[in-house]
Amino acid sequence: MYGKTFSALAVLLIIALGVGFFVWQTSRAEGKTYTNSVHAYELVYPAELDVKEYTDDIVTFGIVSEDSVEGYAEARIVTAQGEAGQTPEDAVADQLKNLCAADGPTASFSCTNTLSIEPFTTANAEQGYVLMLEGELTQLASSTSEIIPKGPYYVIPLASSATISKVLVIAPPLNMSAAESDANLIRTIAESFRLKQ
């Protein structure tokens, strides 16, 4: 009698664990949804990450604790004003080059060139493009420089006029090089972009 009861409990426990694991995996695969009501868009991000919303224009996806934020991806609204004859893509690239510039006590970093601009389509058929920039890290004491790729920057146009473009940029955090970033995570978040109805 006890053997049958124990066997039945063991089977029920295995089934419960299996169902729990399936639910956990499904929620993890589906992720959570971030909604920005000011700019009317949504992004899906992995369930194990948190969101830190600094402003309506800047959001970080990563691990958030009381004391710190370890960012893995960032969504940022960028408004770029182009010069006469400049494409919207080049105007946005120039704005992103300005954002990546940073000076510290021992080194200086600047984005100097656009390496590539490739078309991009989200899972919801929104059209955008992917930018890769070339950065230059200069050690101030030795004046030696190192070229470091920056990106990928997934750019999705939200509004534009003759000279001004407002775009959503999904990219690694500003302090992260292309080699340090999780390109698959950033692409997955960018692909999930959806305009709110």
Q: What is the pLDDT of residues 161-171, one digit of tens each?
A: 877 889 999 99
CA angle 171, 150, 156 (to 5 degrees): 35
What's the pTM value of the predicted model, to 2 decimals? 0.82
Q: For 53, what's the count of Cα atoms within 13 Å in the CB-facing half-sphere?
A: 8
Confidence band of 18 (pLDDT split at 50, 70, 90): very low
Nearest Cα to Cα of residue 34 among 21, 22, 44: 44
* pLDDT of 1 above 80: no
Taking only Cα atoms into account, the Rg of the chain, rounded to an integer number of angstroms, comes to 22
Spell out the residues 6+ positions from residue 5 whose beta carbon is closer than 8 angstroms to its own: none
List 165's β-bridge partners, or say none. 80, 160
Which CATH architecture fits 33-195?
3-Layer(aba) Sandwich (3.40)
What does the alpha-carbon distance between residue 141 and residue 148 come to, in Å, rounded to a whole number?
Answer: 19
